[in-house]
């Protein structure tokens, strides 16, 4: 009976020609299309008559690198094909009838013609002023100036390799995320942030430059996450950042070794990531030395990620690392990446620094040691830090592919880890490849 009923139902669907896809709620249709490329979204117009114009009011127009290179089947993009790509975007924007929520534009070309530059201006000028998420990556043989004054509703802004223009009286009251990549930061961006973007929660600078001698004070009352990666800046300090909990740093040592702007920020952080310990320690050193005999309460730090280490250069940063671990008594997770190679010269007195005197990490439950080089200096660190970890539950050992190529290297690693685990029988061991 059930099989006969199902057959009857199928026949009924066939005879009525019911279009179940078109019955979906418009918001659900847009959600389905959100992760597709622009080309794939345009193709959905053939599904049914009701889907024919779905592209015209789709709230997400993503013309990223995938759309850019696919537009000419990965052929070399000359001025003519770049202009055709921009004309297509202009036509789509001109016929768009819905509420546009997100717009992404990617144009990378060595040369730019006057016509190409004009087309980029035209595209940006017809982007709806109600846009909430904007990502722009426009790279010519000279920087393109992106004007954002006309987008007061932005909640998310990401700018690559461009210069940023806006009127100093402009405010972005809804902006919560600002990410700037490879650009010269304008002077008036920090005059002040608390007025320009009072609700900013995440702020990122990647490969950015400030004018020589510039000093930056970040006053974002609701800022939670701050990233400064591979940036040149003389001095950075924080004001009214009471909500700041996560910081990622990779700063140029030669320009920041006298900076003490992080002193009052470090104790309240719950997450700290240092992308290049050798250079960035110059920034942290002034903040760490005064705490050696400090009587203040332990820091709030729960996750510490140390990347870009060369343990053969331990004498450069190990004293500061020990001071940092002394204060981070609430630490629950520690990541260490060793970039040392067999060719690096190892001084035996460096390993004396690995004696973590007066360091006890009573709450550390996860330790991840990543060996990206071909040496085993990280294993010496593992042996030295073992007595400091009474409650460790998870030990993760990561290898680069080249490290696993050597059977002898793998044997040394396994022996060291086995020694560690025999002393800590409750530890769960995990190996993973990088």
pLDDT-based confidence at 20, cuts 50/70/90? low
pLDDT over 60 (residue 388):
yes
Question: For the ranges 4-18, 63-77, 98-112, which has the lowest average pLDDT?
Answer: 4-18
Q: What are phi and psi of 352, to 5 degrees?
A: -65, -25
Nearest CA to 218 among 249, 153, 181, 262?
262
Task: Provide the pLDDT for residue 45.
Answer: 56
Mean pLDDT (the chain) is 76
Question: In this structure, what DSSP letter does residue 344 have?
Answer: S
Nearest CA to 300 among 272, 273, 281, 263?
272
Contacts from 112-119 at CB under 8 Å and sequence distance 24+? Answer: 112/79, 112/140, 112/141, 112/142, 113/79, 113/83, 115/79, 115/83, 116/79, 116/82, 116/83, 116/86, 116/140, 117/144, 119/83, 119/86, 119/87, 119/90
pLDDT-based confidence at 345, cuts 50/70/90? low
The CA distance from 429 to 60, in Å, is 43
Structure-model confidence comparison of residues 346 and 312, the more confident one: 312
Question: For the ranges 6-10, 107-111, 114-118, 142-146, which has the lowest average pLDDT?
Answer: 6-10
Instruction: Return the SS3 of 176.
Output: coil
Give the mean model confidence (pLDDT) for residues 118-128. Answer: 92
Question: For the ranges 26-40, 80-94, 106-120, 419-433, which has the lowest average pLDDT?
Answer: 26-40
The CA distance from 398 to 338, in Å, is 10
Give the mean model confidence (pLDDT) for residues 344-373. Answer: 72
Tell me the pTM.
0.81
């Amino acid at each position: 009976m059930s099989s006969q009923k199902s057959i009857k139902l199928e026949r009924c669907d066939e005879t009525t020609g019911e279009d179940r896809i078109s019955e979906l709620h418009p918001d659900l249709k847009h959600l389905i299309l959100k992760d597709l490329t622009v080309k794939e979204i345009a193709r959905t117009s053939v599904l049914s008559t009701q889907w024919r114009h779905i592209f015209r009011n789709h709230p997400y127009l993503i013309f990223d690198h995938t759309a850019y290179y696919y537009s000419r089947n990965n052929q070399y993009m000359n001025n003519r094909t770049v202009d055709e790509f921009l004309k297509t975007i202009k036509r789509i924007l001109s016929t768009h009838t819905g509420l546009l929520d997100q717009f992404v534009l990617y144009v990378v070309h060595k040369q730019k013609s006057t016509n190409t530059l004009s087309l980029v201006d035209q595209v940006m000028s017809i982007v709806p002023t109600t846009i909430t998420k904007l990502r722009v990556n426009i790279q010519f043989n000279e920087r393109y100036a992106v004007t954002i004054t006309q987008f007061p509703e932005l909640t998310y802004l990401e700018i690559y390799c461009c210069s940023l223009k806006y009127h100093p009286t402009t405010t972005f009251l809804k902006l919560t995320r600002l990410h700037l990549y490879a650009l010269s930061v304008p002077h008036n961006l920090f005059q002040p942030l608390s007025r320009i973007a009072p609700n900013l929660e995440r702020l990122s600078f990647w490969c950015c430059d400030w004018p020589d001698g510039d000093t930056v004070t970040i006053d974002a009352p609701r800022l939670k996450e701050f990233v400064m990666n591979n940036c040149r800046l003389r001095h950075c300090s924080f004001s009214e950042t009471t909500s700041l909990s996560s910081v990622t740093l990779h700063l140029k040592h030669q320009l920041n070794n006298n900076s003490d702007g992080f002193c009052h920020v470090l104790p309240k952080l719950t997450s700290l990531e240092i992308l290049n310990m050798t250079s960035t320690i110059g920034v942290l050193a002034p903040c760490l030395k005064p705490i050696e005999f400090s009587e203040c309460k332990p820091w709030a730090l729960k996750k510490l990620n140390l990347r870009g280490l060369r343990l053969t250069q331990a004498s450069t940063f190990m004293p500061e690392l020990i001071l940092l671990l002394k204060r981070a008594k609430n630490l629950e997770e520690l990541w260490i990446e060793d970039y040392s190679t067999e060719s690096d010269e190892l001084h035996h007195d460096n390993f004396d620094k690995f004696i973590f005197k007066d360091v006890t990490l009573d709450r550390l439950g996860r330790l991840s040691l990543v060996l990206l080089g071909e040496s085993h200096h990280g294993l010496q660190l593992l042996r030295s830090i073992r007595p400091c970890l009474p409650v460790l539950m998870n030990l993760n050992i990561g290898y680069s592919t080249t490290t696993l190529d050597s059977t002898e290297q793998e044997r040394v690693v396994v022996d060291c880890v086995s020694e560690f685990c025999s002393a800590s029988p409750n530890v769960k061991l995990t190996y993973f490849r990088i």
